[in-house]
Structure 1
Amino acid sequence: MSQLPFAATTPISVARVGLKTRDAETLASYYREIVGLNELSRSNGTISLGVGTRPLLVLEADPSARPDDPHSAGLFHTAFLLPSRADLGRWVKRAIEKRIPIDGASDHLVSEALYLTDPEGNGIEIYADRAKDTWMRDGGGVAIATNKLDIPSLLADVPADDAGWQGAPENSVVGHVHLRVGDPVVAEEWWHSQFGFDTMAKYGADAVFLASGGYHHHIGANSWRSRGAGPRDEGRTGLAWVEMRSSLAEKPSELQDSWGTVIRTVPGMLA
């Protein structure tokens, strides 16, 4: 069995993401078929999906909700971290065979990633990290770039006699969540003060990447389409909440960031 990714072993990490959806059944089918999650439970219009017995994504049905506004504060993408590069290669091979539409593919130096959009407009990243000891340092943070992904190299990491993609493997996690915000500077200050996160990298004045324990980022925050956005509209689909797991917390808690995004915290470490 693979080991837990480094992202999940830091003092604070991402536990689960909740999405408000007009059609939970369609979204659940998408995350099962495309991302490879398993349905773990359902009750009163809520569907929980994950790997093994570990929930990673919760879909909350609200048929009356209006569609998400991509120019508002909310979710840019949920990033599902696979345990190894070969796992990502397996996913890419299946995506090619099944002609799964993707929005992009990037080499970020610290990681390699594919990007998709679910049927209700929620962004998704499927990625694998490079070994931490290969990350290039940039001041107190890490060097992150957006380069062309070497697809043939990824596919070459999959053994010739491999069984292929069998769904998201054990020890897949939500490695990070990337948020749309009205002002990355305000977001950066909020995550510093409320969670003690370190700033690991910036893309100019429009994006900041923050983390616990030296990871490249557990939270991204950008204003590429949402500069100046005000408080969130709770009547829309999209991000319902982000849940962080913290070895520093003594009891569950809930906060709202500067745009009303709900950030929950549960105590403990991932096992």
Structure 2
Amino acid sequence: MTTRQKTDTLPQGTRIGRTALRASDLGELTAFYRDVVGLSVQQQSESTAVLGVDETPLLVLERDADTPERQRSGAGLYHNAFRVPSRKALGDALTRIRDRWQLSGASDHLVSEALYLRDPEGNGVEIYRDFPREEWPITDEGTVHISTEPLDLESVEAAAAGDDRAPPGTDVGHVHLEVTSLDAFEEFYVDTLGFEVQTTVPAAYFVSAGGYHHHIGANTWNQRTSPVGGRGLSWFEVVLPDTETFEAIRNRLTDAQVAVSERDAGFVVEGPDGIDVRFRAES
């Protein structure tokens, strides 16, 4: 697949904000993200829980006991990726996972060190920390090179300090989607929105703004063929660094005849595979 050339790219400071999951058992899922991932419960009702770090919300859980399980053919979430600010914090996360849950994978990606697991309803979770940006390998084309190498888990755990909560500075570094078409993904996220392709591997794209290694990943590894639905991903949020960029994206989407709906001091659009993407400007 040949990537397209972009001129109207998203600027430095563009980032992922909140992500939202449809939950069958709100209490069980809330406890997992609190006790294993280490987020704090900021708001909770019978229908919704909001978790984050300090006063920053990162994850919204929306209870729907009647929602069916995600279909095996359905597009949606591959994983939410929570980025911690240090190797010590990654070691603390590994300790919590080993004490309270089950690790399903771990990798050195040359740009980051990552731990992988699944929540009680099968949603993928990544907890990772970045290497210093000046150490990231750069290709001859000027993009970031991402690889998958074994991670030395014992040295990660040795860095732990015993903290039971994710520290200040933790955020959602990226979201990785399972899609039905990489062409449709690229047309929307790269050609229309202005993300830049950083790395491609067989059946997967990794795109970003401002030279980050990736803000959004997409793959067709499991050959999903139908739109998002059932439990799992409800929506995710792209935060733009200023109102000028926010308005430019709104105009770009309108020009592309994408329906824009106002929502929560921003707007929401339906992207490929029926995945809702929310946009707001940095406050």
Question: TM-score, normalized by length of structure 1?
Answer: 0.88
State how far apart, in whole Å, the 2-side matches of 1:94 and 1:231 are.
34
Correspondences of 1:155-194 after superposition (within 5 Å): 155-158=157-160, 162=161, 164-194=162-192
Q: After TM superposition, which residue ranges in structure 1, 4 or more long, deviate above 4 angstroms?
A: none
Give the C-alpha shift of residue 11 in structure 1: 2.7
| The one of 251, 255, 259 aligned to 2:269 | 255
Give the C-alpha shift of residue 155 in structure 1: 3.0
Secondary structure at the residue paired with 1:28? helix
Residue 212 in 1 paired to residue 209 in 2? Answer: yes
Q: Is the 8 A contact 1:94 1:165 kept in 2?
A: no
| The one of 212, 227, 230 aligned to 1:231 | 227
Structure 2: give runs of 5+ residues left out of the alignment: 1-10, 248-264
State how far apart, in whole Å, the 2-side matches of 1:249 and 1:51 are.
25
| The one of 235, 256, 259 aligned to 1:241 | 235
Deviations 1:163-200 (Å, cap 9, x if unpaired)?
x1221111100000000001122212210133210000
Which amino acid is the alignment partner of residue 82 of structure 2?
Answer: F
State how far apart, in whole Å, the 1-side matches of 2:192 and 2:95 are.
41
State the partner residue of 1:124. 125
How many residue pairs get aligned? The number is 252
Give the C-alpha shift of residue 70 in structure 1: 4.1
State the partner residue of 2:101. 100
Deviates more, 1:124-133 or 1:189-198: 189-198
State the partner residue of 2:116. 115
Give the C-alpha shift of residue 256 in structure 1: 1.2
Distance 1:149 1:71, change over 3 A: farther
Which amino acid is the alignment partner of residue 115 of structure 1?
Answer: Y
Give the alignment's Cα RMSD to 1 decimal.
Answer: 1.6
Percent identical residues: 40
Give the C-alpha shift of residue 152 in structure 1: 2.4
Distance 1:71 1:106, change over 3 A: farther
Structure 1: give runs of 5+ residues left out of the alignment: 1-8
State the partner residue of 1:154. 156
Q: Is the 8 A contact 1:70 1:226 kept in 2?
A: no
State the partner residue of 1:6. none
State how far apart, in whole Å, the 1-side matches of 2:113 and 2:33 are.
20
State the partner residue of 2:136. 135
State how far apart, in whole Å, the 1-side matches of 2:72 and 2:79 are.
11
Which amino acid is the alignment partner of residue 230 of structure 1?
Answer: S
Which amino acid is the alignment partner of residue 27 of structure 2?
Answer: E
| The one of 69, 73, 76 aligned to 1:74 | 76
Question: TM-score, normalized by length of structure 2?
Answer: 0.85
State the partner residue of 1:26. 28
State how far apart, in whole Å, the 2-side matches of 1:156 and 1:65 are.
41
Q: Is the 8 A contact 1:38 1:51 kept in 2?
A: yes
